[in-house]
A and B are shown apart, each in its own frame.
Chain A
Amino acid sequence: MSEVAHAADRRDAAWWIDRVVQILVLAGGLSAIVFIAGIFVFITREGAGFVFDRFDFREFFGSPRWTPTSSHNPTYGALALIAGTASVTGLAMVVSVPFSLGAAIYIGEFATGRVRETLKVLVELLAAIPSVVWGFIGLSIMNPLIIQTFDVPVGLNVLNAGVILGLMAAPIMTTIAEDALKAVPDTYREAAEAMGATRWQVTFKVVLPAARNGLVAATLLGVGRGFGETMAVLMASGHSINLPTSPFDSVRALTATIAAELGETAAGSDHYQALFTLGIFLFLVTFAINFAADVFVRGGQRKRRRRGRRPAASANP
């Protein structure tokens, strides 16, 4: 009896190596959690002094006066910066959401074969253009174009940054939206087509409603991208802190403020810590956006599973 148990005990070198590797890859998996927690811990660590001593909720969210370098009375009102980010992101979404969804529908539902592959590759390449290059495009190509077309003195404004940001976010939204359309099982389309529906009827009455959650997630991730974009907004939005009243006003976004001012502050000063506080705010908002997008994607998958159908192409079942 014991001899049999002994023979079955395969704890040889290969077994131990297997255990070690298992622990190593688990550590690799956990590293993602460690890093995301680390980001929060370290930016909080640098910004904590400001958050606890100086932070005034009403000033931060209610006052448009951001004058951290004032010698006698520095104020830290982030409202104008939040408005700057919101206006630029909002315009970007107005420009890019319809086009991204339209492009996703064309690529996913209408285009076939080589055309489809080519379009997908092109969209992927668009997503790869670095943000500093986009900023440079805003600065050197869009700027004179806007001055010329609309006859305004300055071309670095909400309109410029919004269009640039829209062009940047569109490929990502297109890709994710197209994935969402692809996840709708073909049986849905076949059933509708068997009833005599045309392609656009299938798309509008069957595919889009079924993919709704994924499309919302795509839009949310686009918003997150716009919200967090730094270099392009820094270079194209004109750099003046005010509450915008028209698309031709220059603004300053949250991200751009950190990028522009951090280099000139002394480590540990109020101003330095205030910039980290902006970072904490950005982190929390983007975390919420990403979390919401994930919930939407999951909700869509679960609903479909409950109906007894697995999504056709789920990346991570």
Chain B
Amino acid sequence: MFEATVQNRRNRKVEGLFRLLFLWMTCMLILPVALILGVLVYRGGPAISWEFLFTQPLNNMTAGGILPALVGTVWLVVVALIASVPVGVAAALYLSEYAPDNRLTRAINLAIINLAGVPSIVHALFGLGAFVIFFRFGTSILAASLTLAVMTLPVVIVATRESLQTVPLAFREACWNMGATRWQTIRKIVLPNAISGILTGVILEVSRTSGETAPIMFTGAAFFLPFLPQGVLDQTMAMSLHLFVISTQVPDVPEHMPFGVALVLISMVLAMNGISIAFRVYLRGRKKW
């Protein structure tokens, strides 16, 4: 009664073919990039040493290290985080805990999608027009970081909202039934259960922020500064812009240097994302509900 017909066999063959085709397509997305990363490691690896990471650039950036760029990126990321995490978490709390399904909420969601979708160079123009010129911060870490903060706000909002929504509604209801206000519920029940998810979002934002180049080009990052920034109103070098500068703007840079910078930058970013993903997987495994 259950014999394979010609039709069955053909179906199985076609299914196998499609499976292979899609697997091949998936590999074609991943393998070239893996290959490229291999080349980066192979050619940039020899450049990397303690001296490369922790000394000043010399001879018009054709020798020496990348210390000011590394320190500058840390400055930019920290100031951007201070500005965007509170706003992003508040926005996510509103969307997840308070917002009714109305036009305003839809407008906020559309605005978030658009903030993420606006080209980075337009964010740069905004940063220049708003923070550098209108608010008179000048080209400074503050202006650049605020530009980055606006640009990466959607990362925090989306990650935080997702993490808040994984807290079961029953937890909140139990707390409300005890007579707690909304804020008491959020502070004692929702946030403690969601905090690690929010943290993975913040790590993702660090990764995004440290790799961005266009938004900081005209708002606070300098091509070359032989000293470290002293405060938020100073200009600074940054890893991403440094890679752009020594690979396109400066003549006679030995070939291994831009590869070294690219390798350091990409290691930072991928390590950050890796930590965030590992953290998420660990949390999912540990969840009790």
Q: Would you give the 0/1 interface string for B57-91, flagging 1 where the beta carbon is closer than 8 Å to chain A? A: 00000000000000000000000000000111111
Q: Is the CB of A128 within 8 A of B121?
A: no
Find chain B residues with CB under 8 A from A61 CB. Answer: none
Find chain B residues with CB under 8 A from A106 CB. Answer: 19, 22-23, 25-26
Q: At the interface, yes or no: A62 with Cβ under 8 Å from chain B?
A: no
Q: At the interface, yes or no: B111 with Cβ under 8 Å from chain A?
A: yes
Which residues from 7 to 64 on chain B have a C-beta closer than 8 Å to any C-beta of chain A?
A: 11-12, 14-15, 18-19, 21-26, 28-30, 32-33, 36, 39-40
Q: Is the CB of A42 within 8 A of B119?
A: no
Q: Taking A28-B93, A315-B162 as contacts, is the C-beta distance between A39 and B123 under 8 angstroms?
A: yes
Q: Would you give the 0/1 interface string for A1-34, flagging 1 where the beta carbon is closer than 8 Å to chain B? A: 0000000000000110110011011111111110
The CB with the most chain B CB atoms within 10 A, among A24, A39, A42, A262, is that of A39
Write the nearest CB–CB distance from A89 to chain B, whole angstroms: 12
Q: Is the CB of A132 within 8 A of B119?
A: no
Q: How far is the CA of A294 from the CA of B115 in the complex (A)?
A: 13
Chain A residue at minimum C-beta to C-beta distance from B149: A35
Find chain A residues with CB under 8 A from B121 CB. Answer: 228, 230, 255, 258-259, 279, 282
Chain B residue at minimum C-beta to C-beta distance from A276: B125
Q: At the interface, yes or no: A188 with Cβ under 8 Å from chain B?
A: no
Write the nearest CB–CB distance from B49 to chain A, whole angstroms: 20
Q: Which of A196-204, A206-214, A242-250 contacts B (4 or more CB under 8 A)?
A: A196-204
Write the nearest CB–CB distance from A54 to chain B, whole angstroms: 18
Q: How far is the CA of A43 from the CA of B270 in the complex (A)?
A: 33
Which residues from 282 to 304 on chain A have a C-beta closer than 8 Å to any C-beta of chain B?
A: 282-283, 286-287, 289-291, 293-294
Write the nearest CB–CB distance from B252 to chain A, whole angstroms: 15
Q: At the interface, yes or no: B97 with Cβ under 8 Å from chain A?
A: yes
Q: At the interface, yes or no: A119 with Cβ under 8 Å from chain B?
A: yes
Find chain A residues with CB under 8 A from B210 CB. Answer: 130
Write the nearest CB–CB distance from B174 to chain A, whole angstroms: 18
Q: Is the CB of A33 within 8 A of B107?
A: yes
Q: A32-B157, A200-B14 are in contact. List 17 more A-B contacts (CB 8 A).
A: A18-B182, A36-B115, A46-B128, A100-B29, A102-B22, A102-B25, A103-B25, A110-B22, A117-B281, A123-B30, A130-B211, A132-B213, A133-B266, A136-B243, A235-B244, A258-B124, A262-B124
Q: Is the CB of B125 within 8 A of A25?
A: no
Which residues from 98 to 137 on chain B have a C-beta closer than 8 Å to any C-beta of chain A?
A: 98-99, 105, 107-115, 117-126, 128-130, 133-134
Q: At the interface, yes or no: A170 with Cβ under 8 Å from chain B?
A: yes
Q: How far is the CA of A127 from the CA of B157 in the complex (A)?
A: 18
Contact of A124 among B123, B124, B258, B277 (CB under 8 A): B277
Find chain B residues with CB under 8 A from A27 CB. Answer: 90
Q: Taking A32-B157, A125-B274 as contacts, is the C-beta distance between A39 and B122 under 8 angstroms?
A: yes
Q: How far is the CA of A169 from the CA of B212 in the complex (A)?
A: 16
Interface size, chain B (Cβ < 8 Å)? 97
Interface SS majority for chain A? helix
Q: At the interface, yes or no: A55 with Cβ under 8 Å from chain B?
A: no
Write the nearest CB–CB distance from B119 to chain A, whole angstroms: 3
Find chain B residues with CB under 8 A from A21 CB. Answer: 182-183, 186
Q: How far is the CA of A201 from the CA of B11 in the complex (A)?
A: 9
Contact of A129 among B97, B184, B269 (CB under 8 A): B269
Q: At the interface, yes or no: B248 with Cβ under 8 Å from chain A?
A: yes
Find chain B residues with CB under 8 A from A33 CB. Answer: 107-108, 111
Q: Is the CB of A43 within 8 A of B244?
A: no
